[in-house]
Structure 1
Amino acid sequence: MGVVFGARFLVMLAACCAGAAIAARLAEAGASALWSGAPPLLPGLVFVLIWNAGLVRGGVVLARSLWRSALLNRRIRGNRLPVGARLGGMARLCGLEGRVTLIGAAAPYALTYGFAAPRVLVSTGLLRLDDAELTAVLCHEREHVRNRDPLKTLLARALPAFLFFLPYLRHLRHRFTAARELAADRGAAAVCGTRPLAGALLKVSEGPRFAAGATVAAMGAGDLLDLRVAQLETDRPVSPPAAGRRTAVVSAAAAAGGVFLLGWAAWIVAAYPAPCALA
């Protein structure tokens, strides 16, 4: 992760320097410098514009996710109920003591929320499950808590928006979502067995409408039901489907184009270094 952020910082620095160099060169030579001179500025300008568009898109997605997560936290704080002896005891057995919040709702759902100290939200409707199924749900959510999946989900949302020209990253986001649920199922099945987990999986809903858009990890199967049931039936790890050839080819071409434009921007910075002296 440190390497990724280090690379992003270097590219951002190159974009800033290239932007400053292009602005200075245009002020000096006029618009003709976009397609004349050594090097012409147009490819570097395209790089700067794409980079800034990605920054805006990624920032909007990040801000929206944080805002909706804050609204979710506020909603939960205003409607939380006493956990009670049964749920509290099961939470303790599952290693979630002090990390479970109960909220009044008829729909049976559970989800993990929070970035720094993740917690598990449980609806009163979920308490209708029998003890074995409820324990399986809590063990599933415990895996999300241990892995800090809400925080990882936040990053998985922002990165494809930032690098919007790489469709393969959107596939990786969906693959990550599937992989985290399959891994949480395996962790829960190892403790509780497959039968209670399968029973819970068929009874639990996807979550409340007020959690839509917030960064959470929910027990509800959604469009992953077939994949998760297949894993429980075979008792073997299941991998999410791979990306299609078109997605891979388009992403590879876009990545190659990005490297070309980055190299051109570096050429511009080397040719007109004065504006980047402070960088």
Structure 2
Amino acid sequence: MAGNIAGLIVLAFLTTHLAGPMVTRAGWLRRHAALAVVVWAGVVASVVVVLLALMGSVLAWPPGPVHSWVEHLRSCLPGHTHSGELTTMALALVSGGVLLRALYVGAARVRRTTIERRRHHDMVRLVARYPDDPDDVCLIEHPAPVVYCLPRRSRPIVMTTGALERLDADQLSAVLEHERTHLRRRHHLLLALVDAVQAALPWSATIRHARSELSRLVEMVADDAAAHRYGRAPVIGALRRLELGSGPPGGLAATGESRQLLDQRIARLESEESPGRLSAGAAIALALSPPFALVVVAVGLQLSC
């Protein structure tokens, strides 16, 4: 059992500290935003899977509190009484405490984001007006050209009159398609989950890289969708005319808050590179393959005792 846990510790170190920097250095992924999003989602899932496997193994180490729940492994586990009983019990209790704290911190981050998003919904409802067309937009009287989306059932796209006045018809259609892509692909949910994992595991270099990269990549995915439907020129023109600014918690602004990122997105659209496209089956396979492989490894370690 001790050897299994040691193996999982090594695997945890590789996934939580080395996997993220290695994926970040994969330059070819930057040319295929949709593929990169799927790969990063799989990497984050892998971190969570291997850490849960490690915690479960420690808690199941006799006389850990979970050991009585895995009686079918009794034949390959050490006896209940041995010289390291107090050590293993203490390790199990510490691991359980760490796991509970991580779950609490992650849940608290999700709850805070949800509360702030709801508060912003209420503020928008007080000042917005609702045009007949398009029917998924609420309009706010303000000269600053800003467009962002919020995950909600009705009127999820928020736009200022400044944006409406500054964008031409094609640019406006491209921006709306950008925001609708965020909503269709549940980018807000992906970022919220990664944000919660980062809050729970702030020490993980992989999760830090994932949070940073995914914030950039989901914008590029939405850019690609808008460019595919309306052409690159309207998307580039809209990005240049809109004002920089971060969206509310849980929201996604068309331009984001970083000039450097905006310049990268524009340069990418102006290049001759065509964005990568994935079928639904390929995306699911790529996202599930890393955590599935780690589950196989973890189960193999458990059954090898």
- Give the alignment's TM-score, normalised by structure 2: 0.60
Deviations for 1:194-250, whole angstroms, at most 9, x for unmatched residues?
222111101212447xx54x10111014321122012111142579xxxxxxxxxxx
Q: Separation in 2 of the partners of 1:70 and 1:15? A: 39
Q: Which residue of 1 aligns with 2:27?
A: none
2:261 maps to 1:216? no
Which one of 101, 114, 125 corresponds to residue 77 of structure 1?
Answer: 125
Q: CA deviation at 1:18?
A: 6.5
Q: Which letter does structure 1 place at the counterpart of 2:223? A: D
Q: Which residue of 2 aligns with 1:234?
A: 271
Q: Which residue of 1 aligns with 2:220?
A: 182
Instruction: Tell me the C-alpha RMSD between the 2 structures.
Output: 3.9
Indicate how the Cα distance of structure 1 residues 8 and 67 shifts in structure 2: closer, same or farther if over 3 A, else same. Answer: farther
Q: How many residues align?
A: 221
User: Are 1:102 and 1:121, in contact at CA under 8 Å, matched by a contact in 2?
Assistant: yes
Q: Separation in 1 of the partners of 2:50 and 2:84? A: 30
Mark the runs of 5 or more structure 1 residues left unpaired by the alignment.
24-32, 92-97, 240-258, 265-279
Structure 2 counterpart SS, 1:121: strand
- Give the alignment's TM-score, normalised by structure 1: 0.65
Mark the runs of 5 or more structure 2 residues left unpaired by the alignment.
1-40, 66-80, 277-296
Q: Separation in 2 of the partners of 1:153 and 1:108? A: 24
Deviations for 1:120-173, whole angstroms, at most 9, x for unmatched residues?
111111111222221221121121122122222221211222233322112112
2:104 maps to 1:56? yes
Q: Separation in 2 of the partners of 1:194 and 1:217? A: 20
Indicate how the Cα distance of structure 1 residues 116 and 41 shifts in structure 2: closer, same or farther if over 3 A, else same. Answer: farther
Q: How do 1:141-160 residues align onto structure 2 when only pairs under 5 Å count?
A: 141-160=179-198
Structure 1 counterpart SS, 2:252: strand
Q: CA deviation at 1:115?
A: 5.0
Q: Separation in 1 of the partners of 2:130 and 2:114? A: 27
User: Are 2:245 and 2:256, in contact at CA under 8 Å, matched by a contact in 1?
Assistant: no
Q: Separation in 2 of the partners of 1:149 and 1:65? A: 14
User: Are 1:112 and 1:216, in contact at CA under 8 Å, matched by a contact in 2?
Assistant: yes
Q: Separation in 1 of the partners of 2:91 and 2:256? A: 45
Which one of 110, 124, 142 corresponds to residue 147 of structure 2?
Answer: 110
**Percent of aligned positions with the same letter in both sequences?**
26
